Structure 1
Amino acid sequence: MLDNVPYLPYILSAFIGIGLAAATGFRVFLPMFAVSMASYLHWIPMNENFEWLAGLPTLITTGIATIAEILAYYIPFIDHLLDTISVPMAGVAGSVLFASQFADLGTFPQWALALIAGGGTAATISSGFAGIRAASTATTGGLGNSIVGTTETAGAGIMTVLAMAVPIIAAICAVILVILVIVFGRRAWRRLRGGNKDLVNHT
């Protein structure tokens, strides 16, 4: 019955793309490594324009980058340095992974959707967790940052698996995540700004 649904392949591709984009909002390279490995092992098909994702050089590079990124978030100061570049990097990675799921869509609509849906989702989640980490540093002196980092890594792994295994659930989770991150991320930034103002007033 589902085979007769118009545009079903595009809908499923969008669900997968949104899920992968959300995963890059947590960790930039882990979802790319997972997609590269899955396509390299022929577990999932890959658009011919993105065959470089299925290549061994990409697999090795993203694997090394994944390990380095995960470990770096447990190093004080380095985690905040990464936060300053993680949002644009997540936006790019989310856009690429979203676009990679569309084979027959025209170039302009493909990348327009990728930038808006994929890049927007990834950047929103990444910026939200940057705010949460900044608030954690301000309130716990950085002691809680490892918990935030572990949560991000787990989120990236879970969302990547869901996107490739059950894309509909992944898309629903992505929407919920964006809403939660916007709400709690804004609160974290407001608390941080409020704390900085109080510090200035006391001095």
Structure 2
Amino acid sequence: MEGLEDFLETIISLLAGVSLSAATGFRLFVPFLVMSIATATGHMTPAQGFEWIGSPVAITAFAVATGVEVAGYYIPWVDEILDLITTPAALVAGAVLTASTLVDISPFLQWTLAIIAGAGAAGLTKGMTDVARLTSTATTGGIANPALSTMELFTSSVISVMAILIPLLTGIVMIGLLGYAAYKVWRFFGRRRRFR
């Protein structure tokens, strides 16, 4: 019975991590800030070695980084540059976030799951937002980009908070979202190949 409970706890932790990782595809630092606050207030216990994430220094750093990132996405063309920077960074962030939620498992399994599930989730949602921004810039000259930025910020915030409060439900929803993201990215690049 204890083994089953441990397994379920690992699954729920993994779903929380994948959800937080998916949120980095919308805004890189929002999930870190939410997790940092949740850890500091006792709403979440990170994996061993990640206790620093709830420190006052970490909260301040993530808050400043979030503010800079959010502001940058409202500046024309700067948002495109930010996408170039945050796309590879999201993969690393996704792996770190998922690893930080996986408690009481071997380091090898922890990081294997983090790299596959965490980085994968972040890559898919980031790919979807990159496609959306490229399409918006191409069709509206960037006029619609601020509205897109607002929607991305809202989505990242909601997913991050829900990942902490209701990880099981959020994780199930995220599986569906990741499937949709994979379809959108595949369709975008498939269409580009046809027009070559």
State the distance in 1 between where 2:187 and 2:133 align. 12
8 A Cα contact 1:32 1:97, kept in partner: yes
The amino acid that maps onto 1:34 is: V
Question: Which residue in the other structure is 2:164 paired with?
Answer: 164
Asked if the contact 2:90/2:122 (under 8 Å) is kept, the reply is: yes
Note closer, same or farther for the CA distance 1:6–1:65 as it changes in structure 2 (3 Å cut): closer
1:139 is the counterpart of 2:139: yes
Aligned match of 2:20: 20
Aligned positions of 1:167-186 closer than 5 A:
167-186=167-186
* 1:111 aligned residue: 111
Number of equivalences = 196
Match in the other structure for 2:150? 150
For 2:151 and 2:2, the matched residues in 1 are separated by: 36
Distance 1:114 1:4 in 2: 21
How far, CA to CA, are the matches of 1:193 and 1:142 in structure 2?
24
Deviation at 1:144, TM superposition (A): 1.2
Distance in 2 separating the partners of 1:190 and 1:147: 27
- Structure 1 unaligned runs (5+)? 198-203
Q: Structure 1-normalised TM-score?
A: 0.88
Structure 2 vs 1, CA of residues 92 and 4 (structure 1 numbering), >3 Å: closer, same or farther? Answer: closer
Q: Unpaired segments of 5 or more residues in structure 2?
A: none
Q: Distance in 2 between matches of 1:137 and 1:188?
A: 15
SS of the residue corresponding to residue 49 of structure 1 reads coil
Larger Rg: 1
Structure 1 19/2 Cα, relative in aligned 2: closer, same or farther at 3 Å? farther
Structure-2-length-normalised TM-score? 0.91
Q: Identity percentage over the alignment?
A: 35
- Corresponding residue for 1:130? 130
- 2:148 and 2:185 map into 1 onto residues whose CA distance is 13
Cα RMSD after superposing both structures: 2.2
